[in-house]
Amino acid sequence: MNHKSSNQTNHRVTTSPPHRLTELLHHSISAALEAGKAILDIYHSDDFQVELKGDDSPLTKADIASHNVIMSHLKATNIPVLSEEGKSIPYEERKDWRQLWIVDPIDGTKEFIKRNGEFTVNIALVENQKTVIGVIYVPVLNDLYFSTSEMGAFKVKVNLEDYDVDALMQQGHKLPLEREDKTFTIVASRSHRSPETDDYINQMREKHGDVNLISKGSSLKLCMVAEGQADCYPRFAPTMEWDTAAGQAICEHAGFEVIDWSTKERMLYNRAELLNAWFLVY
């Protein structure tokens, strides 16, 4: 791995030994990349088959294909999976799970339908409500972000036609990367900007003077902070656990904080209420 110096916050909360985390990371990277292949096959066809779910959010056959690929890969780990496209699992059934995968087969389905490329595959491993592995794959850009609480966070380019997961894990560039433009930069949602977000942006302008704004879809917003391209990401609008778990892992393992706006503490997972509170990444 290409290690660069960064201020790492110690987020070691895992009870899994390092070799087990590495093995589980391997499984989750394989799952994300193979899901990416299935998604791109549909993305490059004209047959999305868009349906509306009960909450009026869109669902395509690519979401289902990705979900099925990921489930088949993670099955071997014998760890339960909470997926946006899986069956809903009552809190009574999952409240005692010490470990679980939290998966979004396509984060940014609206971006997928718009064909702007800003969608991701998100896979996180949660232990005792804290994120210990994060994998985000951006199929159109061939960018893979991955992290564990033991080794930190990394980014690597992937050739989907010919890749070796062990080699990718060795070739990753340690996050955050150096940034030339030191202007205070906020990443904000392209399609969910709330008045509160605009208020926060104005506060940062008063504090820092010049402020750059960048807009991205899906969990790419979290990746921008982890990568060092942005200084913070305020999210004062609804998200679900599967939207943020992988990105939170990668941000935390790159030395950043993801703070639940209601508790003012680290955002936790596998809660009774899967709807996240507002949060701030910095």
Specify binding-site residues for substrate: 84, 106-109, 243
Euclidean distance between CA atoms 274 and 12, whole angstroms: 24
Nearest to 150 by CA among 237, 4, 21, 6: 21
Residue 165 parent element (H or E): helix 165-171
Give the contacts of 237 (CB within 8 A, at least 6 positions apart). 189, 192, 193, 194, 197, 278
Euclidean distance between CA atoms 271 and 128, whole angstroms: 11
Annotated binding site for Mg(2+): 84, 104, 106-107, 243
Annotated binding site: 84, 104, 106-109, 243
Max distance between CA atoms of the chain, in angstroms, equals: 52
Please say whether the beta carbons of 27 and 74 come within 8 A. Answer: yes
Please calculate the CA angle 222-168-62 and round it to the nearest 5 degrees: 60
Euclidean distance between CA atoms 142 and 137, whole angstroms: 7
Question: Which of the 8 DSSP states describes residue 149?
Answer: T
Burial class (CB in 10 A: 0-12, 13-18, 19+), 46: exposed
